[in-house]
Structure 1
């Protein structure tokens, strides 16, 4: 069956934040108890013979937790006597985490991605060692990778001045053009450390687990095939009560409609594009900068996959005007426009076109699998924006669209099952 998180729902907002903080503390303490720090140090010292090191144990501190805990991973500093510091990057384990076999597959993909990036002129952490959770010889107790700790701090986009933002955007344009010099042959994720083999997509929502074995979607030869496979998987999970259990019929109608829109958003005639690596989580904190806003590193490649130019070189998420975007505004932001101009100025004309014409594809991407239960208003804005961009029922309010969708799909087997 597919991975389905078991969540405790806290209805009262006053109760939510203390409960969330307590859950984070319990998660860090539980993970810290699983880690064999001596074994981690032994592995690190074997990679740098003759130099002692110390792996700092995980401790929960609300003031500094952002330094060790991200959305999906936790980092342990491994400090050598000569001043060199590495990071042990460990996947978080909580109520929403996928099974270990899926976590290991995503780690494998990130490992292979970092190795690919060693030959690309983009500042990324060097992979130094690793062990999967399922490896027989792994005495550390968890899956992990050892990577360089790069200098700099996560980009705080909101606090940057216009000049600083332009400096960052110019560098991001350089990175995009550099990545465009390294085309790939299919849509999917690197999944074999040591070579550039592209396999199935390494993301939780693309993965099913049956009898302890992972079955992930992909690789694909077109974005149309990618989204058709993904949307069929979502529809199947709705019908088996693995997704959208609160409003399954509405969610099914929406994703059935998105399935029909796939050809409009990713037409067949546009499927001969070359394919490139896409970060897939470029919301800003993946960029490390120094005090002068020089980018010192691009990190957090856990969900990276290869995709056509129109997706891989669409605007980084950090450049979106989120207010306008979630309201369904089809216009790109000023930052996105500057990014397109920078690409064009540096010779990336096709890449600039991906940015200027990318809003329709971005709306479509966000609508697929969106968390409608916790952000219904945000979804409605995205969905209306998408319908306006493709010219299908763009003028309709939600209730009017829903009525038409019920008529349109009244004979659909999934709709009939959900209406029983």
Structure 2
């Protein structure tokens, strides 16, 4: 699908560039860090006050080619949503986040049958996505139909905020991946606030320093509701890994945020035990049978 970038308005200021490596926290002196997080919180408060005139989760599109008539919710064309390997490719819009994540998981399973994503661990990746599917199907929070939707920027790395010489935000750029979603997902902290080695490889779901500061800033603004979105954001953070299986993931970290677990669901903690358990649990899944037949069990599975 060809997409063109074009400017509709010139925004002054300069990007608020942040030094952040995926394996560690934001690297700024404390006063600058707090100034940045305060500015981010203020922009989020403003976003939370916007009226979003749609009732489906998805990207916003004009209802007609000439752009007249407001906006409608359409398919997801975002940084955090898989496409389908089959036409029309883009997924959505959706009534609930459960619908959205199940569609993404099913797309990941289809890609797995094609041998996409990874050259190894294809069986393990398929099993992991089957587990995620079962957990998402059982998750009551994701099944709730929202009464109101909000805008998530989905590319909030700091440099999406344009600031002046007084460190005041004068505009927001890079809206190409923005979409309408639930309050919980819209105001969960972006990755710049929480990704580090403990989160990625040790399954640590605890709040990070920068998330705690963000909560403090929301409380200062009188927005306990947005602070709660940060506290409960790990559910959406973990599900952003759909389609990105890694043997280093602590699988229990995903179960922790997607619980309570289905009745009788009790996989072993060790990886080999997990594989054997899942092979038995999903032995009747036709997709799993095809993956094993096509790729075999000798690629580290």
Whether 1:150 and 2:12 are equivalent positions in the alignment is yes
Q: How does 1:310-389 map to 2 (within 5 A)?
A: 310-326=184-200, 327-366=202-241, 368-370=242-244, 372=246, 376-377=247-248, 380-381=249-250, 383-389=251-257
Bigger Cα displacement from structure 2, 151-160 vs 388-397: 388-397
SS of residue in 2 equivalent to 1:226: helix
> 1 or 2, which has the higher strand percentage?
1
**Maintained 8 Å contact 2:98/2:143:** no
In the other structure, the counterpart of 1:160 is: 28
Aligned-partner Cα distance in 2 for 1:181–1:405: 44
Q: Deviations over 1:47-89 (max 9, x none)?
A: xxxxxxxxxxxxxxxxxxxxxxxxxxxxxxxxxxxxxxxxxxx
Cα distance 1:308–1:179, how it changes in 2: closer, same or farther (>3 A)?
same
**Maintained 8 Å contact 2:85/2:111:** no
Whether 1:206 and 2:83 are equivalent positions in the alignment is yes
Instruction: Tell me which stretches of 4 or more aligned residues in structure 1 moved more than 4 Å.
Output: 207-210, 391-395
RMSD of aligned residue pairs (Cα, Å): 2.5
**Maintained 8 Å contact 1:154/1:284:** yes
Aligned-partner Cα distance in 2 for 1:247–1:269: 30
SS of residue in 2 equivalent to 1:190: strand
**Higher gyration radius (CA):** 1
In the other structure, the counterpart of 1:58 is: none
In the other structure, the counterpart of 2:50 is: 182
Bigger Cα displacement from structure 2, 266-275 vs 167-176: 266-275
Aligned-partner Cα distance in 1 for 2:143–2:90: 27
Deviation at 1:156? 1.7
> 1 or 2, which has the higher helix percentage?
1
TM-score, structure 2 length as denominator? 0.80
SS of residue in 2 equivalent to 1:163: helix
Return the match for 2:97 from 218, 223, 241.
Answer: 223
Relative contact order: is structure 1 or structure 2 higher (C-alpha 8 Å, sep ≥ 6)? 2
Cα distance 1:409–1:230, how it changes in 2: closer, same or farther (>3 A)?
same
In the other structure, the counterpart of 2:40 is: 172
Instruction: Report the count of equivalent residues.
Output: 271
Aligned-partner Cα distance in 2 for 1:205–1:222: 16
TM-score, structure 1 length as denominator? 0.59
In the other structure, the counterpart of 2:299 is: none
